[in-house]
Chains A and B, each alone.
Chain A
Amino acid sequence: MSTMTTTSSPRKLNRIGLDIAIYKGGKTTLCAGCGHNAISERIIDAFFEMGVDPRRVIKLSGIGCSSKTPAYFLGSSFSFNGVHGRMPALATGALLANRQMIAIGVSGDGDTASIGIGHFVHLMRRNLPMIYIIEDNGCYGLTKGQFSATADIGSTLKNGVVNDLPPIDTCALAIELGATFVGRSFSGDKKQLLALLKAAISHRGTVMLDVISPCVTFNDHDGSTKSYSYVKDHDEPLSDVSFIPHFEDMTIDYEPGTSREIQLHDGSKLVLSKLSEQYDPTDKLAALQVLHEAQKRGELVTGLIYYEPGRKDFLELINLVDEPLATLPLDMVRPPREALDEIMESLK
């Protein structure tokens, strides 16, 4: 059979010769239209386009809809879906054990900014070389819509309860604490998110990406949410997709330096303003200022907000050998008999 006669177009391979299919994961069980799904797709694209070997990647997450997503990308990578809010610890341990791995962690705003905030701040502080993504929907998706600590002041729950606490700005926090790559994006901004993720893969140090990712189910106050009353009231209620209403994915694309208003499914509005191309992300004070000013205007700035090149990451800082600790040969991890003799002698 001649290859010339084939009608199907040649499959797209990346620079290490892998098919994009290898970068995909299982079928999503999240609500159709959930922003988290769009983020998974961008992660697939980014790792494919950067030509990263999936066997070098470890995926980590906490608990929440967002934290389920590692099942939906890079299906041939090792993954650890841990406990609520404490993925940073798992990631730290895993990278200490094998510093040659590329770690991508996915968390939610509840996972990060409430139960896991203590772990989050220490992760940022350590500048552990990993990509940490917050899929930020301002609410707890998996437990059906309660406020998270990133919810805006004045926003309401479906039942009308008003949030009267100010939000935690995870980007400002990350910058303040020492993350060396901090960005914010929107799940529907394919171009920007992909660019940020690709840059993230190249960075050595903590990458913190806060990705606004609307929850189509709990931001939707009338209509199909009623169907959720049929769903059993348990901790992981969303595995049965048949109850999930279908929504269109939201997508936007707009120019740097401009703002865009996003109409959410529940009718509320989100104003995203893209940092201009002249913006200098290496200026820490300017970065914090931009965040504070945007917050005053009720907007969210997106793009690469802060970048600190050159700082030692945590694994460099603690002076580890280059090889993975997990697989060091015995003679490197067990001191010789004479060492024990010497110690015993000193205790006599």
Chain B
Amino acid sequence: MSGIETDVQVTPSLRAGGTVINDFSIEVATVNGSGSQTANTVLLRTIFQMGVPVSGKNLFPSNISGLPTWFTIRVSKHGYIGRKKDADVLVAMNPETAPEDVDKMRAGTLVVYDEPLNLRSRRSDLIFYPVPFDKLVAPVCSKPKLRPLVRNMIYVGVLAYLLNLDMAQAKVALNKQLGKKAAVLDMNAAALQVGYDFASEHFTKQDRYLVAPMNENQGKIIIDGNAAAALGCMFAGVTVVAWYPITPSSSLCESLIMYMKKYRMDKRTGKATFAIIQAEDELASLGIVLGAGWAGARAMTSTSGPGISLMSEFAGLGYYAEVPGVIFDIQRVGPSTGLPTRTMQGDLLQTAYLSHGDTKHILLFPGSVEECYTMAIEAFDLAEEFQTPVFVMSDLDLGMNNWMSDPFPYPEQPPKRGKVLTEQDLQRIGRFERYRDVDGDGIPYRTIPGSSMPAYFCRGSGHNERALYSERPDDYKRNMDRIARKFETARHRVPAPELVRDGADDVGIIAFGSSHFPTIESVDQLRTEADINASYLRIRAFPFSSEVESFVRRHDRIYVVDQNRDGQMRDLLRLELAPELAPKLRSVRHYDGLPIDARTITDQILAQEGITS
């Protein structure tokens, strides 16, 4: 190993522009499986606890250990929590990617690196801080086997010094992560301190980036979307869950299992008030959900694109036989196995019309972790009110990454069970016919096995209003038209779109799901950089409410932000809105597997507006 390089040579121009406080992003490049997750979480939490808005994104490979992984932390005094395209601070720990990581940085980037990697020779326009991790970790950790895990905590200490992080908060964060394992905690606390001490002894601050305490995070929580959705399911009163593991959805049901075991055991008997089944495949998962939904339970499953593909046949059954169920689709990159650990909004069209024949499903698009929670609750209500499968379209970015949020509200309303036939209903409507449109809203009454109400024969083949087998053309048409009417009723009942920014009438932006936060930032960029006063409408559900159509009518040009190659939301709007509106719809697309960022949106809109920056 070469000597410690402490003689940091920096050209004065690198510091040009002055100090940047609380407005930059950190990228930590490590090897998957090297225990960097703990270090990165401590880093994120430290900044969070200092009151500065942060978000963390984990870019990991489809592999258990050995391949490169990147963790990015956005630090934003403005509260922007979407991804930032370029990193300002790089921690280069992975020999395999370090040269490439360094080469792609912009001038002025702060680089902390493992000293033997000799990165400094590659660029003269970056600010390098070499750290001899192996040398530093040895005295801290007597067990050579554990050293690779503990050494990562050293870079947290180094950054604490360089970025002026509060070491007391770092220790609190560390305690939160490892508090239950005393020996490991001590070792990591020592590593943190060693990093800090080394940096303070050897480095003179040359870069621009600093963190200063703010007071923005009072009362806020940090959670990932899947855990948030799991909480939503639990408070919605879910009782039957069937799932089949698939990244990035597995952690939803895994979190649910954890929460339900803690909060949903019957106190009297110690027995479970729920059943969570790991099914044999996604076909079985949705089958179990529909069997349970038919028998009156609130049932759900979670999956991702390949699972959605398999569920197609059962989705059609649920739609046509009119059985409630909730399906979380945590989208990842397709087609096929695609990039299993990267993000995309790629299942939109297939899910909207999933199955054969005329089939249309209710979709919800959570745009934040809080909505992962609230929409989970809403999804169960909608599924039962409309007696149909409801899909919650999250994605890997929302589902698996950590986001700041206000705490979640306790559901004030009891679950809406929809038209489950009661004695009073029966007296009012005279007779029970399972598929008769009694109220004119397309929604029939249902009865539940085990109740004293009349039974019916549920089937996916042709049936009449009395649920009897029928191939008669008039029966088929009447039924299909009624189900279409039900979908129309849903249009007014699903979560309405949110008019996030009400701007001028020329440019309108439509986005949904995890594109929300980058889109807000982009709207601000358009205003400050190009004086474009764009409106922004966030779609929250399919079928589209009438506000979507009037928003499109009101603007000259609409930019639809999609995280997929083909502009699937743009296409869905074209299919569903009045045909004369189609020419207004333009497309902003991002599909490299990374979460979308504001810059990408802004640049594409500027280009299509004919403005070159």
Contact = CB atoms under 8 A, between A and B. Distances in A.
Q: Are A and B subunits of one complex?
A: yes
Interface of A: 55-56, 58, 60, 70-71, 76-83, 86, 88-98, 100-101, 118-119, 122, 236, 239, 318-322, 324-328, 330, 332-335, 337, 339-340, 343-344, 347-348
A118 B461 contact: no
Given A90-B291, A324-B450, A326-B450, A340 B408 contact: yes
A325 B264 CA distance: 12
3 tightest A-B contacts by CB? Answer: A89-B287, A93-B291, A326-B296
Contacts, number: 212
Interface in B277-323: 277, 279-281, 283-299, 313-314, 317, 321
A88 B275 contact: no
B168 to A, nearest CB: 17
Given A325-B274, A328-B273, A330-B415, A90 B294 contact: yes
A118 B286 CA distance: 15
26 contacts: A55-B452, A60-B291, A78-B447, A79-B459, A80-B294, A86-B283, A89-B284, A91-B291, A92-B288, A93-B293, A97-B240, A97-B297, A119-B283, A321-B272, A324-B296, A325-B240, A325-B297, A326-B239, A326-B296, A327-B451, A334-B236, A335-B235, A340-B408, A344-B407, A347-B223, A348-B221
A119 B313 CA distance: 15
Given A236-B461, A326-B239, A78 B275 contact: no
A226 to B, nearest CB: 24
Contact of B220 (A70, A88, A330, A348): A348
Given A55-B452, A89-B291, 16 more contacts: A76-B455, A79-B459, A83-B287, A88-B284, A89-B287, A92-B277, A93-B242, A94-B449, A97-B297, A119-B280, A119-B287, A320-B275, A321-B272, A326-B292, A330-B414, A347-B407
B235 A98 contact: no
Nearest to A347: B221
A71 B295 CA distance: 18
Given A340-B408, A344-B407, A80 B237 contact: no
B240 A96 contact: yes
Given A92-B291, A93-B288, A330-B414, A118 B471 contact: no
Nearest to A76: B455
B479 to A, nearest CB: 16
B252 to A, nearest CB: 15
A321 B284 CA distance: 23
B296 A335 contact: no
Given A76-B455, A324-B296, A347-B222, A118 B290 contact: no
A97 B411 contact: no
Contacts of A119: 280, 283-284, 287
Contacts of B290: 82, 89-90, 93
Could you say which of B222, B277, B456 has the most chain A C-beta atoms within 10 Å of its C-beta? B277
B459 A333 contact: no
Contacts of A58: 295, 449
A97 B284 contact: no
Interface string B227-257: 0000100111111101000000000000000
A82 B271 contact: no
B219 interface: yes
The size bracket of the interface on B is 35 or more
A319 B410 CA distance: 28
Contacts of A334: 235-237, 411, 415
Contacts of A86: 283-284, 287, 313-314
B139 interface: no
B264 A56 contact: no
A343 B259 contact: yes
Nearest to A99: B275
Could you say which of A70, A81, A91 has the most chain B C-beta atoms within 10 Å of its C-beta? A81
Contact of A81 (B269, B292, B460): B460
Contact of A343 (B231, B294, B471): B231
B234 A335 contact: yes
Contacts of A337: 410
A181 to B, nearest CB: 21
A82 B295 CA distance: 14
B476 interface: no
Could you say which of B234, B236, B452 has the most chain A C-beta atoms within 10 Å of its C-beta? B234
Contacts of A318: 272, 275, 277
Contacts of B456: 78-79
Interface string B456-469: 11111100000001
Nearest to A77: B455
Contacts of B283: 86, 89, 119
B288 A321 contact: no
B378 to A, nearest CB: 15
B471 A239 contact: yes
B584 to A, nearest CB: 41
A347 B266 CA distance: 25
A16 to B, nearest CB: 15
A118 B281 contact: yes
A326 to B, nearest CB: 3
A236 B167 CA distance: 73
A119 B242 CA distance: 14
Contacts of B273: 321, 325, 328, 332-333
Contacts of A348: 219-222, 407
A165 B448 CA distance: 44
Interface in B445-497: 447-452, 455-461, 469, 471
B264 A333 contact: yes
Nearest to A85: B283
A325 B233 CA distance: 15
Nearest to A339: B263
Contact of A82 (B223, B238, B298, B317): B317
Contacts of B461: 81, 236
B382 to A, nearest CB: 17
Nearest to B469: A71
Contacts of A94: 291-292, 294-295, 449
Contacts of B449: 58, 78, 94, 98, 101
Contacts of B410: 337, 340
